[in-house]
Amino acid sequence: MSGKFYCMTMRMNIDCNGCYQRIRRALLHMQDLESHLIDRKQHRVSVCGAFVPRDVAIKLRKRTNRRVEILEIKEVDAGGGGDPPSEGGGQQR
């Protein structure tokens, strides 16, 4: 497993609800992914997590039988340790 945290954007054909469900199911079964976003109108799938980008694209291709085109890969610094505390906080009554 890779220690680096990546956010990757891919282009895939999402023609119908069945295609969407197949892609979603494949992403949910991948252990290395922290989060994913499927944009039907733009035909884009974004995933974030500690994974090898090429391996995720290959797995997605095999599981969905759809062409996968990697558009962008960003390496994110995972050393932050979470979200910073919100400034101002919520209203207390």
Q: pLDDT truncated to tens, each residue of the chain (93 aa)?
A: 456 899 999 999 999 999 999 999 999 999 989 999 999 999 999 999 999 999 999 999 999 999 999 999 999 886 555 554 445 555 554
Residue 52, both tokens: 């090898």
Residue 66, both tokens: 């759809």
CATH code of residue 21 = 3.30.70.100
**CA distances to 62, 82, 83, 89, 90 from 86, in Å:** 41, 12, 8, 6, 9
> For position 4, what pLDDT does the model report?
87
Query: How many domains, the chain?
Result: 1
Q: Is residue 85 part of a domain?
A: no
pTM of the complete model: 0.76
Q: What is the dihedral of CA 27, 48, 65, 18, to 10 degrees?
A: 50
> For position 76, what pLDDT does the model report?
86
> For position 18, what pLDDT does the model report?
93
Give the domain extent around 49. 5-76
Q: Is residue 81 part of a domain?
A: no
Q: Is residue 9 part of a domain?
A: yes
